[in-house]
Structure 1
């Protein structure tokens, strides 16, 4: 019994020693990497004093609009500098606000790796054009570029004009002596336009902004960007237990099920109309071709079609972008 007790104690001691050694190593790698980054970037101005581990996270506004205004104010304060930095947890984020620095970034097609906070977009957007990198990004961009040809984009003007007329009518009812915020009106109009041109589906966001899908697009964007600014919610465990994890998952299900159903509906329609050369509707107008229709017909250089998952990544990216910007 004594031998067994000693043996058990030795095993526990060995296990504890291994755990401490691994923890020490990981802490060392994290701190050494952080200190190296800090030293490299120390001359770049920052929005204020940063704290260990969480950086400037406590200073950042929770509301998306307030956060945007906060960045605008910081850009004005440091206008004489080429850029400034914000530490979000252990990750430095660069804020660019001069044409020459932005051009350097946007014209680069080599360094395409995305920062860690982009992983929180993956459940919704997958690894489409916005979130992918390397060979997948180059391949996907080459496949999608033809769908943005000027002659194709002009076909969307009719949709834009229809939705713009609705917007003008709504703004006309708001006009009076008092000022009003037109932001929500414009984003709902943009949502209607992008949904019909991207998916060929009317969602009537301007007339029914309370629909589950429209609200999920709005809410999901805020949920993700808020999590990106709160490093204590980066681990899934803490996010699901104390953050907005449950709300995130519910909204995600609504968004993905809607997009998936539209993709399958359009794919079935295209298959059933194969060989039909009549491009005129029963009302005598030319049938509109949505971005989704083009994706369902897109092939790479080897003749491979995009999968439904590939298509959903790009369509969902469109919906995120219209709300995010």
Structure 2
């Protein structure tokens, strides 16, 4: 045990010595470019990271305080990385509507082990290809098929909230998160995880654990380095979470492949916008089968 600890300390010191010049150069450039943006004074090396807690609730509470103090646009430092945080949707609209400014924040890389480099985390040509691939799934004809799913899970959500009627104020973040997980899994994956009714299940705990781990790494400078994180207890926890999450994903993909192969034997199938289509079944199945294979690599 002490050998591992000593090795971790020695590695950290060596990394610090090697990366310090790069840190100074990057920090100086970022500080110069954002000098006009207000924000709290950062500490050396770690920036403002200690001020934001380790979870999404703490983070939002602290950001709200900063927006009240400095205005709708605030600068914070996470280690040597600077982030501009805005409270106004119209500021974000400029970037959300763009097809060119699609590079993600550095913290998105902590999602790669979990979600890979798909639509949420990728950029450039790969993002455009995945965006084109998923567009048909949001056609109104397909969304209409999921109205019952929306209603059923909304009813469960309402039943869960009834116990708070006439009570004191409460945080509904957990309720909304579980309802969203139920809806996404049933509509996008075709599986029911019953997160709202079985929030203690292994899969639900793994999803929540990974989400909190991404947030924790984003605000803990020494965890920015993969080799240090992997040696930590949090690194071990993440590997357990990923084993559960990826195992479930593989089962879903395998099930979907079997369904597509069964469709090939039928005369009538449903196309991308929910319309029945005769003949050409094999071409439709093969085309979509190839798409699914891309996600299984």
Task: Give the TM-score category using the shorter length.
Answer: 0.7 to 0.9
| 2:26 paired residue number | 33
Ranges of 4+ aligned residues in structure 1 off by more than 4 Å: 176-180, 277-280, 296-299
| 2:191 paired residue number | 201
Query: SS at the partner of 2:75?
Result: strand
| In structure 2, distance between residues paired with 1:298 and 1:135 | 23
Q: CA deviation at 1:174?
A: 4.2
Query: SS at the partner of 2:85?
Result: strand
| In structure 2, distance between residues paired with 1:243 and 1:92 | 27
Single out whichever of 113-122 and 87-96 deviates more from structure 2.
113-122
User: Residue by residue, what CA displacement relative to the aligned partner does 1:190-244 show, whole Å, maximum 9, x if unpaired?
Assistant: 2211111111111111221111001111111001111111111122232233351
| In structure 2, distance between residues paired with 1:188 and 1:32 | 43
Cα gap change, 1:276/1:67 in structure 2, threshold over 3 Å: closer, same or farther? Answer: same
* Structure 1: runs of 5 or more not aligned: 1-19, 281-285, 287-295, 313-325
Cα gap change, 1:253/1:30 in structure 2, threshold over 3 Å: closer, same or farther? Answer: same
| 1:292 paired residue number | none
Q: CA deviation at 1:297?
A: 5.6
Alpha-carbon contact 1:64-1:226 (below 8 Å) kept: no
User: Residue by residue, what CA displacement relative to the aligned partner does 1:29-69 show, whole Å, maximum 9, x if unpaired?
Assistant: 432232111111111111x2112221111222123211111
| 1:42 paired residue number | 35
Alpha-carbon contact 1:143-1:298 (below 8 Å) kept: no
Q: If the length of structure 1 is used for normalisation, what is the TM-score?
A: 0.75
User: Residue by residue, what CA displacement relative to the aligned partner does 1:45-95 show, whole Å, maximum 9, x if unpaired?
Assistant: 11x21122211112221232111111122122223x5x2111111111110
Q: CA deviation at 1:161?
A: 0.8
| 1:66 paired residue number | 58
| 1:258 paired residue number | 248
Alpha-carbon contact 2:75-2:85 (below 8 Å) kept: yes
Higher relative contact order, chain-length normalized (CA < 8 Å, sep 6+)? 1
| 2:47 paired residue number | 55
Q: CA deviation at 1:178?
A: 4.5
| 1:215 paired residue number | 205
